[in-house]
Structure 1
């Protein structure tokens, strides 16, 4: 079986929050006993190597970037003891002398690093008050070339923030970018049949420019698919100003974020194979807005630890499409299917958990529900029901939940869906009935999403340990849950781009002095906005599937 490797690139602090949950989900679902059927080909995202002492390692094929001071408990060398990469070269940060005292570790990190670690899945951790950065709940350790710290900017510095896309562009053109591209090359040279690149990045600050520089490099140097996720947090610290001065500061920061987003999306329309903006709040542009609602989930949208877990769950589920062992569908196939007519931007959705009663059948639930079975996680986006193309992934619904046996079926026999032989057929019939002039490709995975520690405790006690609704309150930790996630594209995306263009056009660029100081001219800025408006036109012509 061909490995079909993918290199993942994470750029930015919030994207690393998402990434920490994503890699936790991967690693905590590994089976080391050989007794569990594995649906996913983990070699697509992971690589095998060795430490300098000969110990075999299995680490994410990953490059990430963050600012100085963001790592806390995680060494810049990735955290593996006696770590060195296989070619014998050391990362440029390896010999840096660390003067700061070691950061204090929370209970979860202390447990997993103890000499005789306890079973962390038997404990209930309350980490919400002990998460200061994404490394505070990171379970895996990384290859020595994975972490690339931008040392010229300090994380959390309010006076000299890394908040302009042009600044990230400048960093990319420096020695930092040369080192980063060299690390990309080393990963690519290790691959036998590479699918392409998955780039997750903060699109509202300096990392937007760093990401665009990186994606341009990937497009120029490698004839591979580039799937990008520009990510916006669900909340910013300046979203609730208390006085006029704070309101003025918040509005200025908001305008800067909005310009960064607009510039990034326009550039992605030229250089990415496909890009899917992500945010768990409804607006995204200007202020993120109200948090999206997920039934049987109660999360604090102001906590990155919470909101990033939802996005990571979506990414893990969506990526099943091109990581499943039985599926020959590749990253290139997926991007080609979704991006007809120059529509390179798509929306994403999530239903977490996809919960119905433990004594109910799927056929009854789908036949009676009047609500959409997924929630958009793309900003300023309401997914249409007609004239769309969508790729849906369903996971974690056992076949015995499909329908009643014939001798017990009773009224179910009168439902056309009773003829469906499996989960896939039933969902295909559901979407055929509910989406006019649309095409839906459904992937079904047996294995549910595993939400083991340190996944946040955001699920209702009405769910049993497998994520289905029960009559009695749950007393033990939830271990897994069924999930639906999807990619969607169609005319409805034009409205999203129009909202972004309208908001950013209201900004008086002359007042954003920092952009001009970083080299962005007003004429170039206006030209970018014009191209963004032209990109919207790709979604406005009627088409037939």
Structure 2
């Protein structure tokens, strides 16, 4: 058994994680549902890779994500930090502390109330409706969808999943407004200050030590604010304590955070924040995937999705679907006596996955993430080449036209359909992708394909974002189904997905921008950001070392190093 531990740090990372775990929860439920499509019962996914089995003190069996989630105190909404399966923590009421004899004042805030969706989950688990003056509650699916579409405040507001008491960590005692917790420096001391670092590390250790053979850590961080400082210290600690465990880092930024107006000082702070955070991350993980398109609503995604960039509930759903698909090879059962090749192909373990994308000996690998959601049909009016052209990037600041003879990629296609709506076989997917690359103008040095019959299920608490020409099974139709611009999870039950991680020099502008800003604003004589970096506890030598790290990354990717740009 080779397990993966997941870490989510920061608000947007937890929004992405909430959707990600909802997808897994739906797959688990559909696999046990005798009325569901048989493809879900033969999905050939090993969910034990992500989940741990346990039991409560009352002996009830549990199956919870192997997860450490970190966010602000109060970010869990109506959910307790101990989850909802296990007993509550012992009372910390100061009136019960026998060693204190002085006066006690108490300030109590009203707990957040469960929204309509969470109420419906609670009553469903009780297996009987809760009585009220108006009689039993009756929840309509339409009302639940509407409640989520207009009223999500916390990532827990749309979470279907039960969590282990060791999973949810709230960072307390910051005494700073979340809006001001907006840069690497302000979060730098959180992990090492007080007991936060010890407590967070102990939570990770709990999950790692019960693994039979941990294969890797998938780490999602909100890189737009102070949680980058928390994450970099945490990653350094992981590198020291689990040096042989590969780390795949998704550095995520919501589209809304990319468009806020900035004055000159804010611009300097943001540029140095991006450069320092990226340099730190690249030192402590094996593979970095930056995600955070400045505007998904202005990308090719609009052909199939109707997205509100400012709505975290919306845009995090796209990133979560992409993460699910790109990491699917790590959970696929290899074909063999127990798994027929007609269901899956291309299973990988974590180490081989990372090593493959580091082909040609490139270090500190930065991969781009492309997705097609839903993926187009394999046959019909669309030619084979258009399947590749349907992919759009979720990684910002790329050279879209870059040609790299050393490019390496991992592509995942699952739930693929033909133009008539019939499910495509694994062999048909392989032949179609192979044909698409043969007709493409540029080809990667190496491309690994993972394919599965099982599509991406769309849980009820998923944003109403599908265009009106997306069918119930995710097939893209020539004519709209309804007048409504957006279709909900009640209209679209599953979708075919295609996602690709690519290691190539297309990411050069992303790295060069951070290197150029670090030199101009923090390293060169008279740099305007020197004082800011010192306030973050970074000495000149350490900043210069970061510049060297970024410079080597540029040199490894740049086919013409003498023309390397320091542009900002």
**Structure 1 354/370 Cα, relative in aligned 2: closer, same or farther at 3 Å?**
closer
Task: Measure, in 1, the Cα distance between the counterparts of 2:558 and 2:287.
Answer: 18
Partner Cα separation in structure 2 for residue 92 and residue 427 of structure 1: 59
1:361-382 Cα deviation digits (max 9, x unpaired): 5265233639712001111124
Q: Which runs of 5+ in 2 are unaligned?
A: 35-40, 98-105, 130-137, 335-345, 561-568
Quote the residue 1:425 is aligned against. Answer: 431
Structure 2 partner of 1:141:
162
Matched residues in 1 for 2:269 and 2:362: separation? 28
Tell me if the contact between 1:362 and 1:402 (Cα under 8 Å) persists in the aligned partners.
Answer: no
Residues 179-188 or 491-500, more deviating: 491-500
Conservation of the 8 A alpha-carbon contact between 1:363 and 1:403 = no
Q: For residue 542 of structure 2, what is the aligned residue in structure 1? A: 524
Q: Which residue of 1 aligns with 2:102?
A: none
CA distance in 2, matches of 1:76, 1:350: 33
Equivalent runs, 1:26-425 vs 2, <5 Å: 26-31=24-29, 33=32, 35=34, 36-82=41-87, 99-114=108-123, 115=126, 116=128, 125-126=145-146, 127-153=148-174, 156-158=177-179, 161-174=180-193, 175-222=195-242, 223-236=244-257, 239=259, 241=261, 247-248=262-263, 251-281=264-294, 293-326=301-334, 328-340=347-359, 341-343=361-363, 344-356=365-377, 362=379, 365-367=382-384, 369=386, 372-383=389-400, 384=402, 386-387=404-405, 388-398=407-417, 421-425=427-431
Between 105-114 and 478-487, the greater mean CA deviation after superposition: 105-114
Q: Which residue of 2 aligns with 1:408?
A: none
Residue aligned with 2:257, SS: coil
> Is residue 2:488 matched to residue 1:479?
no
**Residues 108-147 of structure 1, C-alpha deviation per residue, up to 9 Å, x if partnerless?**
1222122447687676612233111211111112100111
Contact 2:77–2:154 at 8 Å: present in 1 too? Answer: yes
Q: Alpha-carbon deviation of 1:492? A: 2.1
Residues 1:460 and 1:63: Cα distance change in structure 2 (over 3 Å): same
Q: Larger deviation: 272-281 or 54-63?
A: 272-281
Larger CA deviation: 420-429 vs 213-222:
420-429
1:379-406, Cα deviation, whole Å (9 max, x unpaired)? 112454652211000011147969999x
Residue 186 (structure 1) shift:
1.5
Q: Which runs of 5+ in 1 are unaligned?
A: 85-89, 242-246, 283-287, 406-417
SS at match of 1:80: coil
Report the TM-score, using the length of structure 1 for normalisation.
0.83
Cross-structure match for 2:507:
493
1:15 aligns with 2:1: no
Q: Deviations over 1:485-524 (max 9, x none)?
A: 0100122222321233334555475457554333223553
Aligned to 1:449: 456
SS in structure 2 of the partner of residue 350 of structure 1: strand
The size of the alignment, in residue pairs, is 502
Once the 2 structures are TM-superposed, how far is the Cα of residue 48 of structure 1 from its aligned partner?
Answer: 0.8
Alpha carbons of structure 1 residues 213 and 10: separation in structure 2 relative to 1, 3 Å: same
Measure, in 2, the Cα distance between the counterparts of 1:324 and 1:253. 45
Deviates more, 1:393-402 or 1:426-435: 393-402
Q: CA deviation at 1:425?
A: 2.4
Structure 1 contact 494–537 (Cα < 8 Å) conserved: no
Instruction: Quote the Cα distance in structure 1 between the aligned partners of 2:387 and 2:51.
Output: 41
Give the stretch that moved more between structures: 121-130 or 312-321: 121-130
Measured in 2, the distance between the counterparts of 1:426 and 1:22 equals 28
Residue 289 (structure 1) shift: 11
Larger CA deviation: 38-47 vs 113-122: 113-122
- Structure-2 change in CA distance of 1:4 and 1:306 (3 Å): same
Looking at structure 1, the residues matched to 206 and 508 of structure 2 have their Cα atoms a distance apart, in angstroms, of 39
The answer to whether the 8 A contact 2:268-2:529 is kept is no
> Cα RMSD between the aligned structures?
3.3
Instruction: Give yes or no for contact 2:166–2:203 (8 Å, CA) kept in 1.
Output: yes
How many Å apart are 1:166 and its aligned residue? Answer: 3.3
Tell me the CA shift for residue 541 of structure 1.
4.1
Mark the CA change 1:255 to 1:202 in structure 2 (over 3 Å): closer, same or farther: farther
Tell me, in whole angstroms, the C-alpha distance in 2 between the residues paired with 1:348 and 1:107.
35
Q: Distance in 1 between matches of 2:448 and 2:111?
A: 49
**Measured at CA, do residues 512 and 38 of structure 1 come closer, stay the same or move farther in structure 2, by a change above 3 Å?**
same
Q: Kindly tell me: are residues 519 and 192 of structure 1, through their superposed partners in 2, closer, same or farther at Cα, counting changes over 3 Å?
A: same
Residues 455-470 of structure 1 aligned to structure 2 (within 5 Å): 455-470=462-477
Distance 2:297 2:306 in 1: 17
Is this contact kept in 2: 1:164–1:515, CA < 8 A?
no
